Amino acid sequence: MKKFLRILLTLIVAGAIIAAVVWKLNENKQVIDERSQTAQMRNDVIPVRIIELSKQMLNTDFTASGTFQPYKRLAVISEVQGKITQLNYKNGDQVQEGAVILAVDNEALQIQLDITKVNLVKAEKDIARLKNLLGEGGMTQQQVDDAQNAIENLKSQIRSLDKQMRTTLVKAPISGTVTGKEVEKGAFLAPAMKILDIVNVNRLKMAVYLTEEEVFQVKKGQKVDLVADLYPENRLSGVIAFIDVQADNSKRFLVEIELNNPAGSPLKAGMNGRAFFSTGRQIQILALPRECVVGSVRDAQVFLANSGKAELRPVKLGRIFGNYAEVLEGLSEGDRIVISGQINLQDGTKISVQEAETAGK
């Protein structure tokens, strides 16, 4: 009997503990649900800052990104075949225009040239004798003419062999730095085979691509400030040397800006940079701060504050002027645009305006 009472008491105590745990869990769940509901109510209204869209008087100065390129770059191509017997330059060496880069084995050509010259001397002596015989009736004019033609043919062969001999010495067509060397001494060279590149970086040119609105604001000979992305503190000066007359597939025009690159300069071909074009003009346009834009400039959207709610609206933007973008379609002067807090918004989200100001102030 006592054993039965102990078991019964144990079961009663365990049941009481379980009931207490279940009650406490239910109480905690109610607290969590209440807090969640409170947070949800608070998040239903998103605080934002807005601006009133207005026309701005802006400078038409603009910036374009580009790449520094060598002033001259030329691939040296072989015109002859043969074994390389001399190679005078390696990657990184400076080479002057006209210097011999390499020599190809020309012994066979030299022998052929020497034989042809000997034959020419003999042919010239022979024709002298033939002309003497022509006067005595022992030789016809046709034979003399044939001998003269043979002499001219030998002279042509000599000129051709001389040219081939010259091509066995590959010379630098421009001055610059050797790079991209693809041959070694002792290798066999074939016609149309690339030997190396010569890059002239004593001067550089920055290649930028401008829109049709931008390209009509610049002219050849105009000075442009340049800066390399790696050295933003160093402002450089260049001059527009080329403006393409035809746009590429993206409707942009190539503009090349030349600048000096003295010895010791950290600038190298292939570096990225920016060009600052100064037009000296101002225009008044309906302009939107770029920080209002949701998404990319090409597929831009903005949030308008409309009757306590956020309205997502697509807009068409034009030229970029620093921190402002020209509004072409989708917005009107006086529209109230969200400038801060967009990250938490969706179309139709309730908002509370924390601050309003006119764009540009």
Contact predicate 61/218, CB 8 Å: no
b/e code 217-255 from CB counts within 10 Å (16+ = b):
bbeeebebebbbeeeeeeebebebeebeeeeeeeebbbb
> What are the Cα distances from residue 10, in Å, to 21, 23, 48, 271, 356?
17, 20, 61, 82, 69
Tell me the CA distances in angstroms from 147 to 113, 150, 155, 161, one per residue in order: 20, 5, 13, 21
Nearest Cα residue to 229 out of 278, 277, 271: 271
The domain defined by 63-70+201-277 folds into Elongation Factor Tu (Ef-tu); domain 3 (2.40.30)
Residues 6+ apart with CB under 8 A from 245: none
User: Are 306 and 68 spatial neighbours (Cβ–Cβ below 8 Å)?
Assistant: no
Measured between alpha carbons, how far apart are the two ends of the chain, in Å? 92
pLDDT, position 103: 93
Tens-digit pLDDT profile for the chain (361 aa)? 555 556 656 666 566 666 665 566 666 666 565 555 544 444 578 899 999 998 888 888 888 999 999 988 999 999 888 999 999 999 999 999 999 999 999 888 888 988 988 888 888 887 777 777 666 656 677 777 777 888 888 888 889 888 888 888 999 999 999 999 999 999 999 999 999 999 998 899 999 999 888 898 899 999 999 999 999 888 999 999 999 999 999 899 999 999 998 877 888 899 999 999 988 788 888 989 989 999 887 889 999 998 889 999 999 998 777 788 889 999 999 999 999 888 888 888 998 887 656 565 5
- For residue 13, what pLDDT is reported? 56
The number of CA neighbours under 13 Å toward the Cβ of 48 is 30
| Topology, domain 47-58+282-358 | 2.40.420
